[in-house]
Structure 1
Amino acid sequence: MAADDEGPLEKHRPRPELATMLATEHWSLLGTRSMTWSEIMSRISILLTVMSALLVVLALFAQGEGFDRSLLPLAVCFAAASLILGSLTALRVGLASQEDAQLIRGMNRLRAAYVELAPEIEPYLTASTRDDQSGLMATYTLGSRRPMLVHIVGSTTFFVIVVNALVAGALGALVGALASTAGWVVAGSGVLAGLVWFAVQVEVSRRLFGRPMTDVRFPTRD
Structure 2
Amino acid sequence: MTAHEQKKAEPALPEPAVPEPPPVEAAPPVLRPEVASLLATEHWSLLGTRSLTWNEIMSRITIYLTVVSAFLVVLALVASATGLGVTFRVMSIGFAATALVMGTLTSLRVVNASNEDAQLVRAMNRLRRAYVELAPEIEPYLTASTHDDESGLQATYALGMRRSGASHFIASTAFFLITVNTLVAGTLGALIAAAAGTPTPVTVSLGVATGLAYLGGQMELARRQFGILLVDVRFPSPEPVSSRGSGSGPRRTRRGSTT
TM-score, structure 1 normalization: 0.92
- Partners in 1 of 2:32 and 2:107 — Cα distance? 45
Q: RMSD of the alignment, in Å?
A: 1.4
TM-score (ref. length: structure 2): 0.79
**2:136 corresponds to which residue?**
119
Equivalent residue, structure 2, for 1:156: 173
Is 1:198 aligned with 2:215? yes
Q: Tell me how far 1:49 sits from its aligned partner.
A: 0.2
Aligned to 1:57: 74
Letter in structure 1 aligned against 2:184: V
* Equivalent runs, 1:96-115 vs 2, <5 Å: 96-115=113-132
Deviation of the 1:13 alpha carbon: 8.8
Letter in 1 for 2:185: A
What SS is found at the alignment partner of 2:88?
helix
Give the secondary-structure state (helix, strand or coil) at the position aligned to 1:145: coil
C-alpha separation between the residues in 1 aligned to 2:66 and 2:161? 35
Task: Give the whole-Å Cα distance in 1 for the aligned partners of 2:82 and 2:89.
Answer: 12
**Which residue of structure 2 aligns with residue 15 of structure 1?**
32
User: Counterpart in 1 of 2:235?
Assistant: 218
Q: Which residue of 2 aligns with 1:147?
A: 164
1:27 aligns with 2:27: no
| Mapped partners of 1:17, 1:46: distance in 2 | 45
Aligned partner (choices 156, 159, 166) of residue 183 of structure 2: 166
The alpha carbon displacement at 1:203 in A equals 1.1
Which stretch has the larger CA shift, 180-189 or 121-130?
180-189
Q: Return the offset for 1:205.
A: 1.1
Shift of 1:68: 2.9
| Partner SS, residue 215 of structure 1 | coil
d(CA) in 2 for partners of 1:177, 1:71: 12
Shift of 1:57: 0.9
**Which has more radius of gyration?**
2
Which residue in 2 is equivalent to 1:186?
203
1 CA distance for matches of 2:30 and 2:106? 51
Query: Partner amino acid for 1:147?
Result: S
SS of the aligned residue for 1:16 comes to coil
Equivalent pairs, count: 211
Decide whether aligned partners of structure 1 residues 17 and 62 sit closer, same or farther in structure 2, where only a CA change above 3 A counts: same
Contact kept in structure 1, 2:147 and 2:237, CA below 8 Å: yes
Distance in 2 between residues matched to 1:78 and 1:62, nearest whole Å = 14
Q: CA deviation at 1:16?
A: 2.8
- Per-residue CA deviation, residues 128-162 of structure 1 (Å, 9 max, x unaligned), is 00101110000000010011100000000000000
User: Per-residue deviation at 1:180?
Assistant: 2.5
Give the distance between the partners of 1:213 and 1:13, measured in 2 at CA. Answer: 26
Counterparts of 2:41 and 2:223, CA distance in 1: 33
Structure 2 regions of 5+ residues with no counterpart? 1-28, 240-259
Q: Residue 74 of structure 1: CA displacement?
A: 1.2
Report what 1:42 is aligned to. 59
Distance 1:186 1:48 in 2: 26
Aligned partners of 2:30, 2:120: CA distance in 1, in Å? 31
109, 122, 145: which one aligns with 1:92: 109
Q: Is the 8 A contact 2:188 2:207 kept in 1?
A: yes
